[in-house]
Amino acid sequence: MADRIRKINVQTSEVHAVITTASLPAGALMDGMAISAEGTIYVTDIQNEVVYKIYEDGRVLGAVVGKIATTGDVNSRGMYGSDGNTARLHDPSGVCVDASGNIYVADNVNNKIKKLSPSGRCQVLAGSTSGDVCSDDGASVKFNGPAGIAVDKAGIVYVCDQGNYKIKKVWPSGRTVSLAGGTGGGMANGQGANALFGSPVGICVDFSENCYVVDRSNYRIRKIDSSGNVVTLAGGAAGFVDGVGNAARFSLNTWDIAMDPSGQFMYIIDQSNDAVRKLSVSGVMTTFMHWEQTLNVSSCLAFDKSGFMYVLERNL
């Protein structure tokens, strides 16, 4: 069975549509997903080194960023042909879309955040080589394995700099600062660099510029306010338990997180528990969906502006 995307009404839990992706290249390994204001789905494929554009009827517009099965690190001036543009990526991971239709991609192995404009121009927003450097100049910035990313209403991009155990904030000019996270991995709440993360992999942002981070190896969802103060919103150990705050439990294979349009609830892929979890901004964790072990596993999710949730399932 091919990979598929389920479109779900979160009010009724009904599956509104199932979008099959059988037309994708063999061996596609989809890792991140975002949905534009117009409802277009963008998905990263870390195996084929591209970002696809997928319509609700299942049509796939080749590669909008990158060239299928071609690794590299190249920018482009525009889009060429049905298989995308001349840009090159290496393990594209997180993806997000701003209100103007710009696409941002965490180019994981190249340690860069790349931006694709609606006209098709692909450029580096921030990043150069591997390291841990913040700067007013995007070309001088260094990441170490950027993973999940999110964008707020002002066009500011938030990055899980996984290998540096930090959350970084990137302005449209490329200026980058460290919002939270100290040197080395660990577990500590606190202000800015006093906070410690174990493995920040997924992120979303609300209307007030609060960030919510999947801290995978710490089994926690962390909240970072606009000043950089970090607290634990939910979790604390492995398991499968609904509850409030530290009483909640989820698995090590907890990856993606998305905020619904109300700004009051987040939904989380809890992969090893075969579940999608629902978390309120006050820290109440419940199970939204749970299914028996199948040959498919959910890997990422996103919301459209109407409040439908899209869950991407990979065929194993």
125-148: pLDDT as tens digits? 999 999 999 999 999 999 999 999
**Percent of the chain, pLDDT > 90?**
66
Tell me which residue of 171, 108, 218, 131 sits closest to 179, measured CA to CA.
Answer: 171
Identify the weakest region by mean pLDDT among 70-74, 203-207, 227-231, 234-238.
70-74
Distance CA 149, CA 158 (A): 5
Q: Which residues neighbour 40 within 8 Å (Cβ) at sequence distance 6 or greater?
A: 53, 54, 55
Mean pLDDT value of segment 113-121: 87
Mean pLDDT value of segment 70-91: 59
Residue 59 confidence (pLDDT): 78
User: 83-93 pLDDT, tens per residue?
Assistant: 335 778 889 99
Residue 292 has pLDDT above 80, yes or no: no
Q: How confident is the model at residue 314 (pLDDT cuts 50, 70, 90)?
A: confident
Tell me which residue of 34, 27, 78 sits closest to 309, measured CA to CA.
Answer: 34
Residue 18 confidence (pLDDT): 81
Report long-range pairs for 285-289 (Cβ below 8 Å, ≥24 apart). Answer: 285/234, 285/235, 285/242, 285/243, 285/244, 285/248, 285/250, 286/242, 287/242, 288/10, 288/13, 289/8, 289/13
Distance CA 103, CA 151 (A): 10
Q: How confident is the model at residue 82 (pLDDT cuts 50, 70, 90)?
A: very low
The residue with greater pLDDT, 298 or 302, is 302
Quote the pTM value. 0.92
Residue 117 has pLDDT above 90, yes or no: no
Distance CA 98, CA 110 (A): 22
Q: How confident is the model at residue 8 (pLDDT cuts 50, 70, 90)?
A: very high
Phi, psi of 102 (to 5 degrees): -75, 140
Residue 247 confidence (pLDDT): 98
Mean pLDDT value of segment 275-285: 96
Distance CA 242, CA 225 (A): 24
- How far, CA to CA in Å, does 186 sit from each of 94, 128, 194? 23, 26, 11
The residue with greater pLDDT, 201 or 15, is 201
